Structure 1
Amino acid sequence: MTTKRKIVQLAVVQMSCSTSQSENIAKAVRCIDQAADRGANIVCLQELFNAPYPCQSEDHDRFEWAEPIPGPTSVAMQDAAKKLGVVVTGSIFERRAHGLYHNTAVVYDADGSLKGFYRKMHIPDDPLYYEKFYFTPGDTGFTIADTLFGRIGVGVCWDQWYPEAARLFALRGAEILLYPTAIGWLESDKAEYGTSQHESWETMMRSHAIANGVFVGAANRVGREDALEFWGGSFVYDPAGVLLHRASHDREEIVIVECDLQRIDQQRTHWPFLRDRRVDAYGDLTKRFIDGTGAGA
């Protein structure tokens, strides 16, 4: 018996950013156009692709970089999706209300309709990643977008380290997990920790693919911005954890891979992790910590 294939061409865009928002938006649109010309059905842009990464310092002036949704950036994404007949996603510095800002991923379907809306849930506060100053944690839950070319779950950067988030995207029906990303090296850390940091990132993401039987892709920034060297390395893994493609660490690239969505059922049938989950025993996952006595809160 021959299994019918559902083939989707997935593109993840890795680009550098200038200080001009209009130039960055125009570059992203050109990349969407190039990806579509090469056959892409789904195009994922990186985190906060329309501007320099804003969170290297706590600067009130940078709230001026935020915009409402719809706004110039999201409308450009929407127009490109509709014009080219592709699904487009990426994250935006959202101004929701006076004094209320989010790091928000949107998904536009191939007809330009808004199919996905997700506000970043996990907000880091690390050297040169002072995101808690800028972003309110999301309140949308782990939503998915049911698009013409597949069901997509889109997390944003720091979300990618949390297996709970990946699992919830998958349980809601996501076939592809995408993570717009802005991850890089601090110059003082790169020599000693750079390799292990990068390997940890990929290992974590590969585990999401295997544990959930889904395709996983990351679109990362590349190039130096002030003190951060974004390490590129954008990639896609298949449901068995096989690397389909990895971009370079130092060049702008558009990674395009073929995703056969029928592989998901095949993989989950042979590795039935969802079947064997003990959902009756996981209540403690809602606790912050469990001490040696078994108590937790």
Structure 2
Amino acid sequence: MKVGFIQFSPILGKPTQTLERLEYLIDKGKHSDILVLPELCNSGYAFNSRQQALNSSESVADSKFIRFLHEKSNKYNLYIVSGFCEKSDKDLYNSSFLVGPNEYIEVYRKSHLFLNEKDFFSPGNTDYSVYDIGICKIGMLICFDWVFPEAWRILALKGADIICHPSNIVLPDLCQKTIPGHSICNRMFIVTANRIGTEDNLTFTGSSIICDPRGNILTQASDDQEEVMISDIDLNLARDKSITSRNHIFLDRRPDKYLDIAKAIEESV
């Protein structure tokens, strides 16, 4: 199968212009089975107030952005994962959603908020879920979730073949260096779709990346150019969890030794 990403710059607070830019970019990625877009793709990132974030948000049920991606999904018979500024009642969430043909949709809300995101968004209240789309099983994480190995491992244990990772990364190199390690430790494919450009005092680092379960970088974008890139992947690699003939990343686990991970944070700082 084929997986890909779109690396570009959403326009802060101007969703119509962002959709116009995405129109031809998704058309370029139409031969993918799964296409991943950046974090907060419908809104932009560097809000100057919670009101601006609210004005840039949409609810899942009546989102013009989601309807647009559903149309593209149906037209090209592909699945799309995108970041999304989500309004739900009085709360805002930094979310991602998976859309597919026939109005299929699933939503994940970001667990680990980064810097000023804490001023605008509520911490995510969704589980780490894996979605079986027939050809493969997909998990979703968002940007700063990359720091927390527990999230990746839970999705791996639930059977994810591919993690789709919409991002707005501003810390140079760190995430992109870490992604191959998460791929190796969990034996799964990862597609990190980062954005480019500058908003306020933030410069986004691009370098979107696709890694295989052996930590090989299949595709990596530049740090500042708009790009659509696609890789062929062999899902059998993600379903082979053996490191050697006598070592299996799940069967060799010792959960009885990991109980300390749940202790209060003050004990570990």
For Structure 1 versus Structure 2, the TM-score category normalised by the shorter chain is over 0.9
Tell me, in whole angstroms, the C-alpha distance in 1 between the residues paired with 2:175 and 2:35. 21
1:102 aligned residue: 93
2:249 aligned residue: 273
Tell me, in whole angstroms, the C-alpha distance in 1 between the residues paired with 2:50 and 2:98. 29
TM-score (norm 1): 0.84
One of 13, 17, 21 as aligned partner of 2:15: 21
Query: 2:260 aligned with 1:284, yes or no?
Result: yes
Tell me, in whole angstroms, the C-alpha distance in 2 between the residues paired with 1:88 and 1:49. 12
8 Å Cα contact 2:139-2:160 kept in structure 1: yes
8 Å Cα contact 1:118-1:140 kept in structure 2: yes
Supply the AA of the counterpart residue of 1:177: I
Tell me, in whole angstroms, the C-alpha distance in 1 between the residues paired with 2:2 and 2:189. 12
Identify which range, 165-174 or 145-154, moves more after superposition: 145-154
Larger Cα Rg: Structure 1 or Structure 2?
Answer: 1
Q: Deviations over 1:227-246 (max 9, x none)?
A: 11111000111000011011
Tell me, in whole angstroms, the C-alpha distance in 2 between the residues paired with 1:280 and 1:151. 28
2:43 aligned residue: 51
Supply the AA of the counterpart residue of 2:176: E
Supply the AA of the counterpart residue of 2:254: R
The percent of aligned pairs where both chains have the same amino acid is 28
2:84 aligned residue: 92
SS of the residue 2:232 aligns to:
strand
Query: 2:103 aligned with 1:112, yes or no?
Result: yes
Supply the AA of the counterpart residue of 2:43: A
Structure 1: which 5+ residue stretches go unaligned?
A: 1-7, 186-196
Tell me, in whole angstroms, the C-alpha distance in 2 between the residues paired with 1:159 and 1:222. 19
1:232-271 equivalences in 2 (<5 Å): 232-266=206-240, 268=242, 270=244
One of 125, 136, 139 as aligned partner of 1:153: 139
Tell me, in whole angstroms, the C-alpha distance in 2 between the residues paired with 1:240 and 1:216. 11
Supply the AA of the counterpart residue of 2:250: L
Supply the AA of the counterpart residue of 1:83: K
SS of the residue 2:265 aligns to:
coil
One of 207, 231, 239 as aligned partner of 2:181: 207
TM-score (norm 2): 0.92
8 Å Cα contact 1:214-1:239 kept in structure 2: yes
1:33-44 equivalences in 2 (<5 Å): 33-36=27-30, 39-44=31-36
Structure 2: which 5+ residue stretches go unaligned?
A: none
1:171 aligned residue: 157
8 Å Cα contact 1:182-1:220 kept in structure 2: yes
2:122 aligned residue: 136
- Report the Cα offset of residue 30 of structure 1: 2.6
- Report the Cα offset of residue 117 of structure 1: 1.6
SS of the residue 1:222 aligns to:
coil
2:3 aligned residue: 10
SS of the residue 1:241 aligns to:
coil
SS of the residue 1:47 aligns to:
coil
- Report the Cα offset of residue 17 of structure 1: 2.2
Supply the AA of the counterpart residue of 1:264: A
Tell me, in whole angstroms, the C-alpha distance in 1 between the residues paired with 2:259 and 2:221. 39
Supply the AA of the counterpart residue of 1:158: F
- Report the Cα offset of residue 223 of structure 1: 1.4
8 Å Cα contact 1:109-1:148 kept in structure 2: no
Alignment CA distance shift 1:274-1:51 (3 Å): same
- Report the Cα offset of residue 155 of structure 1: 0.5
Q: Deviations over 1:67-98 (max 9, x none)?
A: 10021111111121112100011111111002
Q: Deviations over 1:7-56 (max 9, x none)?
A: x10011100122421111232243222101xx21100010011232134x
SS of the residue 1:170 aligns to:
helix
